[in-house]
Every structure is written in structure tokens, then in C-alpha cells.
Amino acid sequence: MRETERGTPQEHPGAPAGLTTIEVPTDPLPRTASARRGLRGPGGLGGRPSRGLLTILAGTVLLLLVSAVAAPESLGSSSVRGMLPFAAVLAVLALGQTLVVQQGGIDLSVPGFVSVTVVVVTHLPDGDDSRLLPAVAAAYGICLLAGLLNGLVVARLGMSAIVTSLGTNALLYAVVLGISGGSPRNTTGALRRAVAGSTLGVPHSVVAAVVLTAVVAVLVKKSVPGRRFEAVGDNPLAARLAGLRVHRHRTAAYVLAALLYCTAGVLLAGIVTTPSAFQGDSLLLPSVAAVVLGGTSLLGGKGSAVASAVAALFLSQLDQFVLTLGVSTAVQNIVQAVALAVGVAVYSVNWAGALARLPVGGGRGAPRAAGAS
């Protein structure tokens, strides 16, 4: 028997009976689907756009057209200026969640990361601009440790990503309560100017989100470590046989995601004048929905940072549209859940096969006439 690239035992023609041999690929990059796509992977910068990117772009254009007809106020200049900074925050969160999902996991500790960052960068300075940078450094340090904890427990100990991230989320909220006692603080003037300001009419938070999206997309799609990262997520067994450090890649996904969550928290603290101590509570579902709507496979491997960022814009405009219609917050949450379900259905269901099986007259699925030979 021999072990193939995908780990399926097969008969080895030259091996004695009963002897099992293992054939290890010599290529440092496993020939998985992601590796074969190379620099043209899903949503890659150097090749054909992915199905997820094209789909979410089409959906965003359609949403903008519907908004222009049904709720034109949602596309007014003031509405767009108010929406874009929050879309930027969600885009950065979606980048981090995308990295984790590409490794076959999911991170439910997003609210804790955002909330602890907001609390640290507002409570520790307490309005003093000179103490802002140490506070930001402390926030990144806390998030780095929490992300490392997530990664080590999931990758090394084999714990469920859901259980692990929920536990980390609870731990982060304990830190939030310990620092803030549940009370908010005003954002420092320096952070407000740095984040909420604009250059040539473009909010700084949007610039930060665009730059981070480009950096993540380039690193994942056009660098050797990024291609290995996708290969590990696509087929961990083949990657391990090829000599790739699967545990390290999975741990790195959670650590990098934690740093992106922290960045989103810093941006959010600068956008909101007096952010709540629990500012991240409402951001978990949108962060997952953006990843799913962007076409990233929940099974790992295939994904697109650009598509996730566009999906964040889609969800933000969808919220703006629904809000303009005057519906309640509960209805907004339902709309987000429906969008998530639609995203899962679009990318998970084999629609061509399902339609082919429909009992259409004259088709293969149609019942045969009585007595037909």
C-alpha cells in the first residue's frame, strides 16, 4: 500500500504483499487545489477574480440600486460619511476572521477583542494624549497574548475552535470589567483626530482598512508563506506530509487575526466619542457574515480578503438601508441573519445539480410514461 498526496491508501505495484509504504511528496508546496492556483488563487491579485468576489460585487451593486430607488436618503452624502468609517471597522474585523476560517476554524472572541481594546485605549489615557501610545501598545499586547492562547489551544491541544474562542471571549470580558467596571470613557483628542479625520475627503479609517486589505491580500496570494498558508488550510494532511508546520500556520492565523481585531478596536475607539465598555457586542455576527458572503469556504483553504472587505461594505450599506426604512434593531439583526443564511446557501449548495434533478418535463428527472419501453 502507499499513501497518496490526499492520504488515500492504494496498492503499490512494486511492494511485496502485506508491506505498507508511504510516499511523501518532495514538493514543499502540496499540489492541492489552492497550491495549483498559485498566485491566481481565489480573489488573487494576479489572475481571474474569484466567484465570491464577483458575487459580492454584483450583490453590492444591486443593493446600491435598490437603495437609490427605495431609500435614497441612505445614499446621501451625510449618510455615506457616517457609514463608511463603521464599514472600515467591519472590514478589518472580517480580514482577521477570514484568516481563521481559512484554517478551518472560527473565532467567536471578536467581541471580547474589540471591547478590551476600546476600554484600554480610552480608560488608561483618561483623556491624556501623552498616555495614548502606551495604552495602544498595552492593547496590542493583551490581544497578542489572547490570540496566542486561542491558537495554541486550538492547534496544539486540538480543542474545538468554538469552545476555545468562547472561553477566550469570557476571559477578555473579565479584563474589560476589571479595568472599566462597565463604565465608558471619552476618546482622547489625539485618537479622535487621527482616526475620525479625513484626507481629501476620505476618512482615515477607510484608508487604514484599504491598506490593510491590500497588505493581507498580497501576503496571502503573492508570497510563498501565503501560498503555504492556503495549502495548509486546504489540506492539512497533505501539507503535513510535505513538511509544512501545520500547527504553526494555524496558530499564526489566530495571532494575526487578534492583531487585526485590535486594530479595528482602535479605529472604533477613535470614531465613537464615548464608546461603551461593551462596544464589540454587536460585531460577531457581521464579522462572520462578511466572511461567508465573501465566499470564504467554512471548510478552510479557499478565501479572499478583498471579497470579505467588499462584503463588509455590503453589510454596512444593508444596515444603513434598513435603518433608513425605520425598522427596529431586532429586524436589523434578522436581516443580517438572513444575509448570512443566503451566503451559506449560495456557496454551499450545488445549484446546477439541484436544478438538474428537478422533475422537468422531458428531462432526466421526469417520470416515464406508462408502458414506455
Inside any domain, residue 360 = no
Distance of alpha carbon 169 from alpha carbon 77, whole angstroms: 37
Inside any domain, residue 288 = yes
* pLDDT > 60? residue 5: no
> 203 is written with which cell numbers?
476618512
Lookup result for grid cell 471548510: 299
Distance of alpha carbon 294 from alpha carbon 297, whole angstroms: 9
Q: Once rounded to an integer, what is the mean pLDDT over residues 315-342?
A: 86
* pLDDT > 70? residue 47: no
Instruction: Tell me what pLDDT residue 354 has.
Output: 66
Contact 324, 73 (CB under 8 A): yes
Q: pLDDT class for 258, splitting at 50, 70, 90?
A: very high
Distance of alpha carbon 98 from alpha carbon 95, whole angstroms: 5
* pLDDT > 90? residue 272: yes
**3-class state of residue 3 by DSSP:** strand
Percent of the chain residues past pLDDT 90, beyond the cut:
66
Residue 2 is given by DSSP the state: E
- In the chain, the amino acid numbered 163 is V
Distance of alpha carbon 114 from alpha carbon 284, whole angstroms: 10
Higher pLDDT among residues 72 and 34, named by residue: 72
Instruction: Tell me what pLDDT residue 368 has.
Output: 53
Inside any domain, residue 10 = no
> 125 is written with which cell numbers?
489615557
Distance of alpha carbon 229 from alpha carbon 246, whole angstroms: 9
Q: Phi-psi category of 187—alpha, beta or left, where left has phi over 0 and alpha has psi -120 to 50?
A: beta
Lowest mean pLDDT among 93-102, 172-181, 356-365: 356-365
Q: Once rounded to an integer, what is the mean pLDDT over residues 47-73?
A: 89
Largest CA distance in the chain: 90
Contacts of 40 (CB under 8 A, 6+ apart): 46, 47, 48
Inside any domain, residue 12 = no
What is the enclosing helix (H) or strand (E) of 350? none
> 290 is written with which cell numbers?
462578511
**Phi, psi at residue 198, to the nearest 5°?**
-145, 155
pTM over 0.85: no
Inside any domain, residue 368 = no
pLDDT in tens, 283-318: 999 999 999 999 998 888 878 999 999 999 999 999
Instruction: Tell me what pLDDT residue 24 has.
Output: 44
Percent of the chain residues past pLDDT 70, beyond the cut:
82
CATH number, domain of 249, equals: 1.10.3470
What letters, b where the CB count within 10 A reaches 16 and e where it falls short, cover 331-340? ebeebbeebb
* pLDDT > 50? residue 22: no
Q: Measured in whole angstroms, how far is the alpha carbon of residue 272 from the centre of its chain?
A: 23
Q: Once rounded to an integer, what is the mean pLDDT over residues 61-87?
A: 93
Instruction: Tell me what pLDDT residue 136 has.
Output: 98
Distance of alpha carbon 208 from alpha carbon 204, whole angstroms: 6
Inside any domain, residue 363 = no
**Short-list 224, 211, 215, CA closest to 41:** 224
Q: Once rounded to an integer, what is the mean pLDDT over residues 326-346?
A: 81
User: Domain range for residue 41?
Assistant: 26-348
Contacts of 359 (CB under 8 A, 6+ apart): 365, 366, 367
Inside any domain, residue 244 = yes
* pLDDT > 60? residue 27: no
Lowest mean pLDDT among 2-6, 81-85, 115-119: 2-6
* pLDDT > 90? residue 332: no
**Short-list 212, 211, 214, 247, CA closest to 232:** 247
Instruction: Tell me what pLDDT residue 346 has.
Output: 78
**Short-list 252, 248, 286, CA closest to 147:** 252
Q: Once rounded to an integer, what is the mean pLDDT over residues 120-130?
A: 94
| Structural domains counted in the chain | 1
Measured CA distances, 210 to 10, 172, 181, 207, 214 (Å): 48, 28, 35, 5, 6
Higher pLDDT among residues 42 and 159, named by residue: 159
* pLDDT > 60? residue 151: yes
Inside any domain, residue 83 = yes
